[in-house]
Amino acid sequence: MTNTLTRRNWLRTSALAAGSLVTGLSVLDKPAFGMTPFKGTYGLREDFFPPAADEIKARLSANENPWGPSKNAVAAIAESATKGNRYVYNSSREMEELLAKKEGVSPDHI
pLDDT tens per residue, range 32-79 = 666 676 677 766 666 666 677 677 776 667 777 777 888 999 999 898
pLDDT score at 8 = 85
pLDDT score at 44 = 60
Alpha-carbon distance 28 to 52, whole Å?
A: 42
pLDDT score at 73 = 92
Alpha-carbon distance 77 to 71, whole Å?
A: 10
Domain boundaries, the chain: 1-30, 70-110
The pTM for the full model equals 0.30
pLDDT score at 49 = 67
Q: What totals of helices (H) and strands (E) does the chain contain, helices first?
A: 3, 0
Higher-confidence position of 97 and 61: 97
pLDDT score at 74 = 92
Alpha-carbon distance 18 to 21, whole Å?
A: 5
pLDDT above 90: residue 100? yes
pLDDT score at 87 = 77
